[in-house]
């Protein structure tokens, strides 16, 4: 039995036909290394945002059930297009909706939790040598109604499928070639992190770094699935999120709301030098704090007023780039 790889491609990676071709090339390269391939895709580009605003133009009180019925279509369009393309390129592929793929959730429309996955259809297609392309972010509840998993939920579909299929790894491909110390699209002097613990990634996501869906990290940790964040558009080595034992460098900064900054790293509570440096920056910049929380793996500061992005750059230079 060949090993299975799960590959997830986010909205910006599948935005148009040109990008779908790059995605198909990436899939084929991995398939040719003799793996069973399960692909999870998001809706193309800004499709989900567009569908939400179109629904809200029709009604101020869109029922969650109907919103899910609408939004799930976004992901399905991508599965069908990618399957059409791969078949055209001479590879056997099949598109499956969340429910065809046996993804069962609870009844919480708009924020459903995956309860179990019935693998019979996926396994049947894999045994026939097909690349199985599954719509992310969606499932079906006990009433056979479509549900969605919350914004960014395709990551969770991918890691949950990896767990169910006993996959070796779960690749999350996006427009960034890994997880950086802070959002590379917003800040300067950022560094790519070759590895992160589940705990650190979980802290980053819960503090508001919108790069991976929070719940996918919990599933990865529970089932010990290494999650690899890489770019769809190049072959640079990315970030591996897995178990890391005993490591205590400061990893990242998240500025979630305008007045809240979190600094994340295993065992940061014992890093006296970093804590002193941080206090120095705050004094030097004459910033007024409302609350300072120093926990095992993160420091969270809430300031009295809006904090400039420049402060994040400063913390990055004095705490991360020197450690």
Q: Which is nearer to ligand ASP, 53 or 188 (CB)?
A: 53
Cβ at position 65, least distance to ligand ADP in Å? 24
Q: What angle do CA 193, 23, 139 make, to 5 degrees?
A: 85
Q: Is 78 in the site for ligand ADP (CB under 6 A)?
A: no
The interface mask with ligand ADP, positions 259-298, x = CB under 6 A, is ----------------------------------------
Question: By CB under 5 A, what part of segment 118-177 binds Mg ion?
Answer: 152
The interface mask with ligand ASP, positions 63-82, x = CB under 6 A, is -----------x--------
Q: Which residue has the tokens 């609870």?
A: 106
Instruction: Please give the radius of gyration of the chain, using alpha carbons only, rounded to the nearest integer.
Output: 21
Q: Is 209 in the site for ligand ADP (CB under 6 A)?
A: yes
Q: Is 102 in the site for ligand ASP (CB under 6 A)?
A: no
Q: Is 210 in the site for ligand ADP (CB under 6 A)?
A: yes
80-115: b (≥16 Cβ within 10 Å) or e = ebbbebbeeeebebbbbbbbbbbbbbeeebbbbebe
Question: Burial level of 165, CB count in 10 A (0-12/13-18/19+)?
Answer: buried
d(CA 233, CA 230): 9
Binder to ligand ADP among 99, 171, 180, 303 (CB under 6 A)? 180
Binder to ligand ASP among 36, 76, 147, 154 (CB under 6 A)? 154
The Cα-based distances of 301 to 128, 138, 290 in angstroms read 54, 36, 8
Q: Which residues bind ligand ASP (CB under 6 A)?
A: 10-11, 42-43, 48, 74, 136-137, 151-154
């Amino acid at each position: 039995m060949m090993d299975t790889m799960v590959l997830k491609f986010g909205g910006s990676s599948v935005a148009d036909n040109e990008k779908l071709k790059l995605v198909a090339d990436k899939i084929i390269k991995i398939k040719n290394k003799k793996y069973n391939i399960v692909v999870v895709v998001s809706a193309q580009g800004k499709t989900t945002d567009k569908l939400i605003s179109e629904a809200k133009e029709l009604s101020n009180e869109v029922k969650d059930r109907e919103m899910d019925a609408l939004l799930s279509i976004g992901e399905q369009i991508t599965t069908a297009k990618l399957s059409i393309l791969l078949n055209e390129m001479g590879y056997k592929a099949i598109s499956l909706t969340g429910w065809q793929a046996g993804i069962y959730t609870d009844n919480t429309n708009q924020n459903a939790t995956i309860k179990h996955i019935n693998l019979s259809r996926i396994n049947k297609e894999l045994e026939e040598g097909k690349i199985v392309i599954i719509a992310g972010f969606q499932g079906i509840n006990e009433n056979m109604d479509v549900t969605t998993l919350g914004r960014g939920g395709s990551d969770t579909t991918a890691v949950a499928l990896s767990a169910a299929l006993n996959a070796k790894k779960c690749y999350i491909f996006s427009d960034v070639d890994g997880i950086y110390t802070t959002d590379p699209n917003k800040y300067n002097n950022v560094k790519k992190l070759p590895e992160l613990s589940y705990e650190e990634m979980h802290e980053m996501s819960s503090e508001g770094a919108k790069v991976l869906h929070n719940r996918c990290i919990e599933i990865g940790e529970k089932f010990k699935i290494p999650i690899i964040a890489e770019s769809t558009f190049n072959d640079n080595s990315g970030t591996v999120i897995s178990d890391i034992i005993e490591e205590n460098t400061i990893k990242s900064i998240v500025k979630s709301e305008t007045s809240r900054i979190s600094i994340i790293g295993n065992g940061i509570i014992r890093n006296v030098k970093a804590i002193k440096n941080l206090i120095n920056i705050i004094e030097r910049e004459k910033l007024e704090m409302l609350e300072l929380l120093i926990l095992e793996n993160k420091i969270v500061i809430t300031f009295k007023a809006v904090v400039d992005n420049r402060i994040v750059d400063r913390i990055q230079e004095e705490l991360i780039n020197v450690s």
